[in-house]
Structure 1
Amino acid sequence: MATVAEMREKLRRPLAAELAAGCGDRVVAGGVERLLASPLAGPFPGVREVLRGYAELDGVARAEALGRALELLDGQEKAAKAPRPARTIKQAVPAAAPGERLPPDAEVGRLDTGPGGARKLQSLGLHTLRDVLHAYPHRHEDRRALPDLDAVEEGLKVTVEGRVTSKSRRTPKPGMLILEVTLETPAGGRVRASWFNQPWIERQLKEGARLVLTGRVKKFGRSVQLAVEHLETVEDAKGSLSTGRIVGVYDSKDGISQEFLRKAAHRTLQAVPLDDYLPAHWRRKYRVTDLGDALWGIHFPADEEQLSRANHRLRFDEYLFLELRMLLQGEDAVLQGKRFQATGSDISTFEDALPFRFTNAQRRVLLEITDDMRAERQMARLVQGDVGSGKTAVAACALYLAVRDGYQGALMAPTEILARQHFENLVGYMAKLDVRVGYLVGAMTPKAKLEMQTRIAEGEVDVVVGTQALIQENVRFDNLGLAVVDEEHRFGVMQRRKLLAGRPDVLVMSATPIPRSLALTAYGDLELSIIDELPPGRTPVETKLIQDTHRQQAYGFVMRQIREGRQAFVVTALIEENENLELLAATQLADDLRVILPEARIELLHGKMSAAEKEHIMERFRSRAFDILVSTTVIEVGVDVPNASVMVIENAERFGLSQLHQLRGRVGRGSAQSYCLLIAGEHSKKTRQRLKIIEGSTDGFVIAEADLKLRGPGEIRGTRQSGVPDLRLGDLANDTEIIEQARELAKHILAHDPKLEHPRLQYLKGELQSRSHSVAFREVI
């Protein structure tokens, strides 16, 4: 006679095979219910109960039931194997009593979600009731029953209610079953509904039955057909969470049904008190609904209007908590800083020493900077501007104002090439103003470094330009008042903090055009200024999109420019982030160009070169020692080669639009007309449309907005490093107004209560801490 363990295994095997085969009730002869009626299932009454009525369940419900049955069998097997003397009882999380209210941080095990429910939620990363509340549907379907489908477009998913007037059953070939019914709608229309290979549905398809069906519409002449995805009887549909309403569709995985997730969300909303952490006067000011209306509205909207209100409020909350977190983490932004005079006469003195006049945009940004410099609070401002808009001149003026008040200034650049260029520019700007400008980079000799470090420490240098060498431990400033950081996203957070240890005012410059919405989130701890005007007299770069089949003509044009005394960049695209493949491709390209253009002098710049080697090649290029620079890497942002008039970008489709615009900015820096040739290796219509945006616009911010909509936010400023989370509802391409409102409120809150200590803010503070995954951040507040 078989033991219980043997019977358990004989029962487990066919049930597991049924689950693996897709729950079609075909693995066991006579079906699962016949197996359960056999003596084999006798010792396992719990399994029989879980699988009762199996043939009548739909596919998702069958999978759930089988999963629970297998859990029961596995659990009994483990219990049987456990040594009895050492038996311990695991304390389960106590389930809530009916009607009991639960805090948002309660574990999901406190919720009545059926056998294995807590495990399913946890497998989706939902461990607390707060997690369930904020696991919003990723889309919504309108499953309110339509009176008629005659006017509905083909392919749409709709819900229809009606009475079954006829049914049929077909097996066009072995292994295929098609069930069909004709449904008469309340408006008198007729709809044919069909199911493929779902025999368990047949019992519900009785003539006269009133059904609510959801599926996609197909049209054959005047005939309307529905490929059914969800079925309920009219009686069951009353009060249903899955039909007769606007229904949320959640992120899930195999074995976890949408019906289960809807029930979990509904029970959580009923169990958790939805007290609002935003007081009513703030809600009125920013025109957002209350939290309860928003959470019910995102999961179970009564209508489109409630769904819209919910979406708006919850997006506002996402940005509010993001801005609060950024402002609290950017603790430098709330410290006392230096207080400068920053007089108008000093600005005029600086401008008079320049070979040009400031544009209106430069003046506006300078006023914003000087307002910050005069305030007691430390300045923390981002100055954005397209290539050539004059950011460096504005930063130089701010540095001059700091020096006039007896402070030192520092400008830190990410590479030695850029640092050298900034140094030469500042020397040119400050030559007539009696400002001593120093230079400090890693490639200097130990003696030269020590000499410069000594001069900095003794106050013999007014402004020092350098790389990360400025934040080495042996660099001491005498009285640092203003730190300018160029292309700050290329430094780590801790690197920036080292430069800011003495609480100088901070000015960050970026030539990477970033949409305002993204800048407000990625640089949440910085105020934002934009130089949105180019100096007069700059000739826009002409851009042309060329298919790779016309590459020969493109390089023929390059050669004509070289014969006229100009130079050219040729940039190759990234190849799967593999430096060796990049180098190989670029080397091959340089060799090919030497064959195609035998007159041209060609050199190669690649990522495996040292900083000194790169600088040497760039210096030779600037001094016209060769004609074409082939580069594997993005040419340094801000590097000037005024004589270069052509930028050729191979495989342009592999770059983002903003990257292409940055590359284009390497030319057009002299007086001659310049050109950018985008050579596309892919010829699809989608690629052409995307690249046409670059061909038709030279406005970096317009291009950045288009790039954001096409590609998403990406990793501006290294979002992992800066703590910007994935937004569940927020849409950076369209949410600028909401972001600005949320930022305004966040700044207001922290201006009045920097540590969120007021009793009325305790709920807001708790919610902020609960939504923050970083332990270090929780310690900030």
Structure 2
Amino acid sequence: MATVTELRERLRRPLAAELAAGCQNRVVAGGVDRLLASSLGNPFPRVRELLGGYGDLSVPEREDVLKTALAELADSEKIKPARTPRPAARQAVPTAAPGERLPIDAPLSRLDTGPGGARKLQTLGLHTLRDVLHAYPHRHEDRRALPDLSDVEEGQKVTVEGRVVAKSRRSPRPGMLVIDVTLETPSGGRVKATWFNQPWVEKQLREGASLVLTGRVKKFGRSVQLGVEHHETLDNAQDSLSTGRIVGVYDAKDGISQEFLRRAAFRALGAAPLDDYLPAHWRRKYGVTDLADALWGLHFPSDETHLTRATSRLRFDEYLFLELRMLLQGEDSVLQGKRFQATGDDINRFEAALPFRFTNAQRRVLLEITDDMRGDQQMARLIQGDVGSGKTAVAACALYLAVRDGYQGALMAPTEILARQHYANLRGYLGQLDVRVGLLIGAMTPKDKLEMQTRIAQGEVDVVVGTQALIQENVRFDNLGLAVVDEEHRFGVQQRRRLLASRPDVLVMSATPIPRSLALTAYGDLELSIIDELPPGRTPIETKLLQDTHRVQAYGFVMRQIREGQQAFVVTALIEESETLELLAATQLAEDLKTILPEARIDLLHGRMSAAEKDHVMERFRAHEFDILVSTTVIEVGVDVPNATVMVIENAERFGLAQLHQLRGRVGRGHQQSYCVLIAGEHSQKTRKRLKIIEGSTDGFVIAEADLKLRGPGELRGTRQSGIPDLRLADLANDTEVIERARELAKHILAHDPRLEHPRLQYLRSELQNRSESVAYREVI
């Protein structure tokens, strides 16, 4: 039987945790009133009197009576707050005394997690109190009313609670161990639970043990059997954390139980200060709860509403810190920039010289650009648009506005063939407006390079188009005002910054449609403009999905196009992340096609070629020196071959939808009807359903949204390599509004305090530093 001292401690601990959690009456299942109504309250009538009607009190009143009640308990026992000393020879860091508050970054050796507890948590990558608080459950189970097994269906996944009443073990065949347990549920029903080849669990399954089991139901007449996928043994002292409530399930390893992790989270929440880094007026404006409520609500929610409220706050925080980090890394958001006139008359003059009129989407994006150009801050804006949406014309207009104000402009492309293409386009747009356009690429002779560099330095060139040659040390601009970067993700950060050394306004163009939510995170240091409308009169590319059993018919169609004077791309998929195997597959495919289509002239493009060799092959293809280009996935984004009208993609199931759409965009550049043939080597319903999306849509943004939902952000545009951390609570497919609100607050914070130096932001700054994975980034602030 428990002593009065033990009962006093069992009462004091949840009351201290309730005080630490902000007096929200959520720490104890059923609330403080229910705790006091239990046998724990009987020996302490003064405490019961002080805390009577606790649930009806305001938060300040609760705090007052809790402090008084805890003092009463301490006085009755003469509890001293000092920690229990350890032998000096062991030099161990003492754990916190019950009720003692710990710094948020205290090592876990100071948190009472039991013998070896800190070491267990360290194997999960958790080293501080903060780590435990933010090691969120990956899912939650509702254990408030576990199901009646007579009502569940065959194959349904359920969680049940019960007591072991029988156990047996058997070996149906050599090397196989089956452990069967009969569990009696609180309602009196019985269920047979089975473990396969898990001998280590047997010692936890003693008769009389209380278990919580999760698994798939199998029914045999009136009897129910459970194939166990997860189980927990219940410690009576911890029942309130694992049953009778919504329970979090954590990522764990063998030997680390869910009960242990819940207990660690519970004690961390009770010991941590939980100071909120978002002031109350920001929380009210953005409709999020306070940090203490959120952390308690994610680990130990009182109900569904509490869990939703907690998840919303902590998801908002993930995006807020991501946006702050991106804006601080980019630095462009707080720099003084050029200030342009950017008049409507100049825009009209530029448009009048075009052979077409701007679409409404182009006009909208131009207004966003000119608003930035007229401002004091440096423009840093991303223009997103599908193939053929007119991004280059919009960028050319912005360059014209810069030149009209006496500045130079630059456009940097990732390859020489793209640079030449942009050079030809800009000369067409700007040449008749007396704008001098120059080209600077690595393939030029030393004499031509020197001449162009001299003209740039002396201001004799208004707009320079080039590759990385533009950021070499011997290139000096006379007065660079606007830099346009095409397909920015193809350049390194340092490369871009060298071009931006003189602080010009910046436009980044991307022909890779990605969802707005992903763009706001992948390009967090850039404002976002989307050209989501194609010019009128464009003929959509016809797309057809075929099984590989119809490959011969597909290439028969290709040959008919070739006989009519057209050309075709044939792309083969990456095989097992091996460039060597991919090259072999492409080479073999080219040889096979020479046999199938003996009339056709066929050549090959692959990743092992140098940049010069790739450019040479593409130039020959544009000049129609051969009919079919067999390629790996290295076809240059944005390259125009107007005479190419067919794109065949082999093993299309190996590509993401967004990548298929990009490859399809290599055709349809001329006036002829163009076609894309997807050849699928896998015939499953799932594959057909996915590929039918691209067969039925030519809208890159619709396709990108579908790709995000199917594949997740990590596989789109290499975002895991672009610095986006794992977002544990985020759902990029549905979080656009949350991201925009978090971005708005991040920009507001940095606009008023670019280095987070105000004392009110000390917690925010500290949290930002601790969430950063980059040492270099910590030096930014």
| TM-score, length of structure 2 as denominator length | 0.84
For residues 605 and 178 of structure 1, the distance between their equivalents in structure 2, rounded to whole angstroms, comes to 58
Aligned CA distance change for structure 1 residues 405 and 145 (closer, same or farther; 3 Å): same
Answer yes or no: is the 8 Å Cα contact 1:145–1:159 preserved in 2.
no
Aligned CA distance change for structure 1 residues 484 and 716 (closer, same or farther; 3 Å): farther
Aligned CA distance change for structure 1 residues 634 and 173 (closer, same or farther; 3 Å): closer
Answer yes or no: is the 8 Å Cα contact 1:640–1:669 preserved in 2.
yes
Q: SS at 1:368's partner residue? A: helix
Q: SS at 1:421's partner residue? A: helix
Pairs within 5 Å for 1:23-172: 89=89, 91-146=91-146, 148-160=148-160
Answer yes or no: is the 8 Å Cα contact 1:408–1:461 preserved in 2.
yes
For residues 753 and 460 of structure 1, the distance between their equivalents in structure 2, rounded to whole angstroms, comes to 41
TM-superposed CA distance for 1:255, in Å, is 2.1
For residues 667 and 523 of structure 1, the distance between their equivalents in structure 2, rounded to whole angstroms, comes to 28
Answer yes or no: is the 8 Å Cα contact 1:177–1:199 preserved in 2.
no
- The equivalent residue for 1:439 is 439
TM-superposed CA distance for 1:716, in Å, is 5.1
- The equivalent residue for 1:78 is none
| 1:277 matches 2:256 | no
- The equivalent residue for 1:571 is 571
Range moving further from structure 2, 480-489 or 438-447:
438-447
Aligned CA distance change for structure 1 residues 199 and 118 (closer, same or farther; 3 Å): closer
For residues 628 and 261 of structure 1, the distance between their equivalents in structure 2, rounded to whole angstroms, comes to 60
Q: SS at 1:469's partner residue? A: helix
- The equivalent residue for 2:191 is 192
Matched pairs, number = 687
Aligned CA distance change for structure 1 residues 562 and 103 (closer, same or farther; 3 Å): same
Q: SS at 1:714's partner residue? A: helix
| 1:706 matches 2:706 | yes
For residues 585 and 734 of structure 2, the distance between their equivalents in structure 1, rounded to whole angstroms, comes to 39
Range moving further from structure 2, 451-460 or 623-632:
623-632
Q: Which of residues 176, 195, 207 in structure 2 aligns to 1:204? A: 207
- The equivalent residue for 1:655 is 655
Q: SS at 2:342's partner residue? A: coil
- The equivalent residue for 1:767 is 767
Q: Which runs of 5+ in 2 are unaligned?
A: 1-87
Q: SS at 1:240's partner residue? A: helix
TM-superposed CA distance for 1:735, in Å, is 0.8
- The equivalent residue for 2:672 is 672
For residues 319 and 407 of structure 2, the distance between their equivalents in structure 1, rounded to whole angstroms, comes to 37
Q: SS at 2:600's partner residue? A: coil
Q: SS at 1:726's partner residue? A: coil
For residues 661 and 468 of structure 1, the distance between their equivalents in structure 2, rounded to whole angstroms, comes to 27
TM-superposed CA distance for 1:300, in Å, is 1.4
| 1:363 matches 2:363 | yes
Give percent identity, aligned residues only. Answer: 81
TM-superposed CA distance for 1:719, in Å, is 3.8
- The equivalent residue for 1:505 is 505
Kindly provide the CA deviation profile for residues 277-319 of structure 1, in whole angstroms up to 9, marking residues without a partner as x. Answer: 1112211221111111111111111222211111111110000
- The equivalent residue for 2:72 is none
Range moving further from structure 2, 603-612 or 507-516:
603-612
TM-superposed CA distance for 1:112, in Å, is 1.2
For residues 180 and 526 of structure 2, the distance between their equivalents in structure 1, rounded to whole angstroms, comes to 63
- The equivalent residue for 1:688 is 688
Kindly provide the CA deviation profile for residues 115-168 of structure 1, in whole angstroms up to 9, marking residues without a partner as x. Answer: 22111111211111101111111112222343623322334444445688x757
TM-superposed CA distance for 1:718, in Å, is 4.8
For residues 233 and 637 of structure 2, the distance between their equivalents in structure 1, rounded to whole angstroms, comes to 61
TM-superposed CA distance for 1:199, in Å, is 5.7
Answer yes or no: is the 8 Å Cα contact 1:486–1:508 preserved in 2.
yes
Which letter does structure 1 place at the counterpart of 2:312?
H
TM-superposed CA distance for 1:467, in Å, is 0.2
For residues 355 and 567 of structure 2, the distance between their equivalents in structure 1, rounded to whole angstroms, comes to 26
| 1:374 matches 2:374 | yes
CA RMSD of aligned residues (A): 2.3
Aligned CA distance change for structure 1 residues 595 and 96 (closer, same or farther; 3 Å): same
Kindly provide the CA deviation profile for residues 585-608 of structure 1, in whole angstroms up to 9, marking residues without a partner as x. Answer: 222211211111111111212222
TM-superposed CA distance for 1:224, in Å, is 3.4
Which letter does structure 2 place at the counterpart of 1:731?
D
TM-superposed CA distance for 1:220, in Å, is 2.6
For residues 573 and 388 of structure 2, the distance between their equivalents in structure 1, rounded to whole angstroms, comes to 24
Aligned CA distance change for structure 1 residues 256 and 211 (closer, same or farther; 3 Å): closer
For residues 655 and 532 of structure 1, the distance between their equivalents in structure 2, rounded to whole angstroms, comes to 24
Answer yes or no: is the 8 Å Cα contact 2:387–2:511 preserved in 1.
yes
Aligned CA distance change for structure 1 residues 267 and 637 (closer, same or farther; 3 Å): same
- The equivalent residue for 1:60 is none
TM-superposed CA distance for 1:180, in Å, is 4.9
For residues 376 and 646 of structure 1, the distance between their equivalents in structure 2, rounded to whole angstroms, comes to 48
Q: SS at 1:382's partner residue? A: strand
- The equivalent residue for 2:555 is 555
Which letter does structure 1 place at the counterpart of 2:767?
E
- The equivalent residue for 1:71 is none
TM-superposed CA distance for 1:776, in Å, is 1.8
TM-superposed CA distance for 1:651, in Å, is 1.3
TM-superposed CA distance for 1:90, in Å, is 5.7
- The equivalent residue for 2:350 is 350
Which letter does structure 2 place at the counterpart of 1:418?
L
| TM-score, length of structure 1 as denominator length | 0.84
TM-superposed CA distance for 1:391, in Å, is 0.2
Pairs within 5 Å for 1:525-544: 525-544=525-544
Answer yes or no: is the 8 Å Cα contact 1:522–1:716 preserved in 2.
no
For residues 127 and 489 of structure 2, the distance between their equivalents in structure 1, rounded to whole angstroms, comes to 34
Answer yes or no: is the 8 Å Cα contact 1:145–1:212 preserved in 2.
no
- The equivalent residue for 2:27 is none
- The equivalent residue for 2:386 is 386
Aligned CA distance change for structure 1 residues 259 and 451 (closer, same or farther; 3 Å): same
Range moving further from structure 2, 375-384 or 625-634:
625-634
Aligned CA distance change for structure 1 residues 263 and 161 (closer, same or farther; 3 Å): closer
| 1:287 matches 2:250 | no
- The equivalent residue for 1:339 is 339
Which letter does structure 1 place at the counterpart of 2:385?
G
Range moving further from structure 2, 497-506 or 709-718:
709-718
